[in-house]
Amino acid sequence: MTDTTQWVEDEFAEIDLGDARLDKRAKLLMARFSGNPTASIPKSCNGWGETVATYRFLENDTVDWRDIMAPHWEKTQERMTEYPLVLCLQDTTEINFNGQQIEGLGPLSYEVQRGMYLHPTIAVTPERLQLGVVDAWMWARELRDAQGVRPGQKESKRWTEGYERIAEMAADMPTTRLVYVADREADIIEMMRRAKQLGTPADWLVRAKTNRALPDGEKLWAHTLDGESLGGIAFTIGPREKQKGRKVRQQLWAKRVVLPAGRGTTVEATCIIAREIDAPPGVEPIEWRLLTNRTATTLDQLIELIDWYRARWEVEIFFHVLKNACKIEAMQLGHIDKIERALALFMVVSWRIVYLMRLGRTCPHLDATLFFDPDEIRAAYLLTKERRPTQAPTLNEVLRQIAKVGGFLGRKGDGEPGVKTIWQGMVDVRVAAFTIQALRDEGS
């Protein structure tokens, strides 16, 4: 067994799909998909027989996608207990299958588009090391009726239910502080009220979208900005879409407020406004309005909360890998149930890619052989035409070699490689490693 497949055995040691053959198949698929995340399902498999068996697994109605993910959820929670604080990031993404003949899909943000929605919770340390997926929702919307009303469960409930799930985990992790972090869609008073009812076992931090009226009639955002700034924060953002990376300077304001919560109840919260100053000409200033149950009266406390919110970008990186490395929107499976089973596997594959990237930055001196087979390490150096170090290489050193295979230049000012060059390099490195193994087996 290689070190590459050993992580699958470790992560899915407790999988139970009701049949040992199904358990074995799930592990094999995880190894195949992680070995070549950009490949189609037939190309990932070893021959026609394995391809047929893969489609049979995905078609098996006795296999629930939650049971596929269950061992990963448990392992993620184990990793979370090793840290004093863990951010639980939630977000929703559209998965667009427009034009494909797949049963069970529904409309997306545009009614004519066909697809489904995915809403995971990603556990991340404040240093942005992704620990895994701890929860997920998948669904397809129903079509609107003649009155324009969409039947089915109210979608906003997933934000409140997401907090409830994190609250349940908090009870099992008394030494780990959990923080629910989400974007504007989570600015729902029902979620805040539910957290209060439960005794707020997990903190919450969400980006505000509603300029609520306070009990005295004053507006929330004007009230927060009334007074002197508590100080500033400076950080660098990387390039995104058509915008270049740049340094950002923000001034910070914060006020403790009482929010009307309906039914004669209220919720106490801290409103934070982070407003960019001196933005470059032609660039829209970055301004965040946040709500949290946490009390923040000092600049250090505010900066910590801003850093927690900035870590929310990790869920976007996760979606980026899921869609562009694993190419989930290109899957040609005939029914949404099959897609859900495949997504359960690919969510773990995506996490693993991001996990290695972040681990290479936060723990660069780890022994690379803990994560890669010796032939993979040899292949990485062969493909970059660089000499292997005489001592065992570190995780960061090997990841940089893999990224160079994927197009990372590795110049002095290039910083650390991102997920794209790592996943692209991994594909070629795995092929080269298999070639080395085949040549060795042939000669023995």
Interval 243-264: pLDDT, tens: 677 899 999 999 999 999 888 8
pLDDT over 50 at 1, yes or no: no
The per-residue pLDDT for 43 is 85
22 pLDDT more than 50: yes
Write down the pLDDT at residue 4. Answer: 52
Per-residue pLDDT, 438: 81
Question: What pLDDT, in 10s, does the model give residues 58-108?
Answer: 999 999 999 999 999 999 999 999 999 999 999 999 999 988 889 999 999
Burial of 416 (0-12, 13-18, 19+ CB in 10 A): middle
Q: How confident is the model at residue 422 (pLDDT cuts 50, 70, 90)?
A: confident
> DSSP letters of 348-396?
HHHHHHHHHHHHHHHSTTSBGGGTS-HHHHHHHHHHHT-PPPSSPPBHH
* Residue-level pLDDT at 66: 96
Contact between residue 309 and residue 207 where contact means Cβ atoms under 8 Å apart: yes
* The two structure tokens encoding residue 121: 């919770």
- Taking residues 225-247, report their average pLDDT: 84
Over residues 401-412, the pLDDT tens digits come to 989 988 888 777
Q: How confident is the model at residue 42 (pLDDT cuts 50, 70, 90)?
A: confident
Question: Is residue 140 within 8 Å of 104, Cβ to Cβ?
Answer: yes
Task: Round to whole Å and give the CA distance between 286 and 251.
Answer: 11
Cα(71)–Cα(86) distance, rounded to whole angstroms? 19
Give the pLDDT mean for 343-363: 91
Q: Buried b / exposed e across 29-57, counting CB within 10 Å, b at 16+?
A: bbbbbbbbbeeebeebbeeeeebebbeeb
CA dihedral (319, 321, 327, 331) positive or negative:
negative
**SS3 category, 137:** strand
Burial 124-143 (b: 16+ CB within 10 A, else e): bbeebbbbbbbbbbbbbbee
Query: Could you say which DSSP state residue 14 is in?
Result: T
- Alpha helix stretches (DSSP H) within 251-387: 299-310, 313-320, 336-362, 374-384
> Quick one: pLDDT at residue 20?
95
**What's the CA angle centered on 313, arms 200 and 141, to 5 degrees?**
75
User: What's the rounded Cα separation, in Å, for the pair 35 and 31?
Assistant: 6
For 153, residues 6+ apart whose C-beta sits below 8 A from its C-beta are none
In the predicted structure, residue 242 carries a pLDDT above the cut 70? no
Full-model pTM: 0.90
pLDDT for residue 360: 87
Q: What are the distances in angstroms from CA 131 to CA 222, 232, 276, 305, 400?
A: 38, 30, 31, 20, 21
In this prediction, residue 241 has a pLDDT band, given cuts at 50, 70 and 90, of low
Contact predicate 44/30, CB 8 Å: no
Q: What is the pLDDT of residues 170-192, one digit of tens each?
A: 999 999 999 999 999 999 999 99
Percent of all residues in the chain with a pLDDT value above 70, rounded to a whole number: 98
Q: What is the mean pLDDT of residues 122-144?
A: 93
- Average pLDDT for the chain: 90
| 147-160 pLDDT, tens digit each | 777 777 788 889 99
Return the higher-pLDDT residue of 156 and 291.
291
Q: What is the DSSP letter of 325?
A: I
